[in-house]
A and B are shown apart, each in its own frame.
Chain A
Amino acid sequence: MGRRSSSVLGYWRRPTPAVVTLGFAAMAFVPLGGDAELTSFFLTLLEVMLITFSLNMVVGFIGYLDFGHVVFWGLGSYTAGVAVSSFGKPLTFSPYVFVPLGGLVAAAFAALVGYPALRIRGAYFAIASFSINLAVQTIFFNVEAFGGSEGLPLLRFVSYQVATAYYWMLLFSFGSFVTSYVILNKKLGYGLLAIRNDEDMAKSLAINTTAYKVLIYAVGAFFAGVAGAIWGLAQVFVDPDNFGIGRSIEMFVTMMLGGVGTASGPFIGAFIFYGLKDLLVLRFPHLHLVIFGLIIMVIVLFLPGGLVGTLRERLPRLRRVIE
């Protein structure tokens, strides 16, 4: 882990946070060029990055395979959508004030279901989390107040603003990176990784495993909910397909490309993912998911640490440089 930094500011002297922060700063210039297509491309990239950071907090930090993580994303988008449409007329203020609310609703839901659900482990948790997502999706598909299977169109209440959405997404993506990085370098992070490595052992070392797990689950859910809320407002549309498996595949591939459980993995992973996706979608518009399935299998068998994890393992000198 290297030296322990005495203050939060001390982290910025280390290469990983400095470089990633510079990367985020550079992305702040994207909308200034006025190219809407480029801006919305980077918006989708940041969106996948943000939700991957949030997924990584659960899967990477405590080793709980959260196949239902997209439920928090969907809840965030519905929170924003319902809040905006509850006014019944066009909003006189920015709808993005509801973004933190989306995150908070998702986090509250995570704490509520996480307390019982995180007691079960391994494949049981994976399927239970998937079932929670399925149950919530069924509700949104069938309850007319939420627009049923047609979803909630928001164009009557808010307008389409790519640049605003972009800066909110950038802000929270950066926030999720800082949160991941700081957690990993604090006592909380050591406790979480101890849970990942051997939960019973962690418990015997007087780590309050339940509190740690529920806390990180809620923090992860918060960022996923925020991503969903921004996305819903950016698309001016919220629909129950938001809970679909397609999004889960994207974030899992991104996380595994970058490196599960690393601080910078989702950042790097998002760029590789979009590079690959652009390459694949153009050449094989229908086959790209087949290839993503292959990529996942190849990573598990040959590069289990993703890019960051593998580099750290192969080149011990890089351990202090990339985290």
Chain B
Amino acid sequence: MSPDLLLQTILNGLMIGSIYGLSALGLTLVWGIMDVVNLAHGEIILLGAYLNFWLFTLYGVNPLVSLLLSIPLGIVVGWIVHTSLVRHVVGKSGLTTLLLMFGLSIFLNNAMLNLWSPDTRTVPWFRTSFVTGGLVLPGSRLLAFGVVLLMTAALYFFLLRTYSGKAIRAVMQDAEAAAAMGVNTAAILRLCFVIGTILATVAGNLISLVLPFAPANAIQYAILSFVIVVVGGLGRPLGALLGGLLVGLVESFTGTFLSQAFSPAAVSVLLIVFLLLRPGGLFGHAAR
């Protein structure tokens, strides 16, 4: 094989993988801090994608504007889901929380199917590609890659430098001790859930720029995010980003050398390998 093809496969994997990483960031934060696995994560990602699609298709709004608008969308969705559902099951058994989020996922997915049809959608914007040597770099993917880096940097600044961010990390380590230090844990959990949905809607917005999407894809993004959380280690933002890149590479290599049809199977294999051999993720401990 040619070195160009190899390099192109790696670049494609990294560019798509970075978006996967961003969508997994939200999942890993929520899961790590409140032990709630948001099975409706894929649907919330799609809400961001549809926001971009409808604003662009109906009103010709610049996707950069809807990228900003996906933040208030994430806040509203996160607040509603947390207040009406998640709040009531924090601390309950895994069966309870998972079934609740399963119900939400079915509800949202079929609501989208009914409202917006099962058609596959794309946002045809910024389709110019930069060709250097034998490599093709689509503009929209480069842009998405840049936004992911920006969002991750912002999240890290928030987690490391602000009071709320420090409180989130404290609650993640030990909720009781944090509460004893005067941290309002209920408010922190809500904040954390809302940040998770913001990251999801932003990721969805970026996905709509680089990939076709339909309601049926929600489950695929939820699974990808889940695998990335396992690969990167639960509750580790940087792990999620690197895990996303790894999953992106696995997908693009499967696509180049085997067939695009087998990439879900390859990702499943990656998940099972990690669960059995390194359940703590890339940098985690072996024990759980």
Contact = CB atoms under 8 A, between A and B. Distances in A.
A134 B100 contact: no
Interface string B73-116: 00000000000010011000111101110111111111101100
A290 interface: yes
Interface in A106-127: 116-117, 119-124, 126-127
A297 B85 contact: yes
B114 A286 contact: yes
B261 interface: yes
Contacts of B103: 293-297, 299-300
Interface in B264-278: 264-265, 267-269, 271-272, 275-276
Contact of A293 (B88, B104, B219, B269): B104
B268 to A, nearest CB: 4
Nearest to A59: B95
A135 B265 contact: yes
Given A126-B98, A289-B110, A297-B107, A116 B265 contact: no
Nearest to A60: B95
Contacts of B109: 289, 293
B20 interface: no
Contacts of B269: 135
A52 to B, nearest CB: 14
Interface residues of B, number: 42
A123 B227 CA distance: 11
A138 B262 contact: yes
Contact of B223 (A130, A292, A299): A130
B184 to A, nearest CB: 24
A132 B95 CA distance: 19
A290 B100 contact: no
A311 to B, nearest CB: 19
A80 interface: no
A130 B223 CA distance: 9
Contacts of A301: 85, 88-89, 100
A210 interface: no
B98 A123 contact: yes
B96 A304 contact: yes
13 contacts: A117-B272, A120-B275, A122-B94, A123-B98, A131-B268, A138-B264, A256-B99, A286-B114, A290-B106, A293-B104, A293-B110, A296-B103, A300-B89
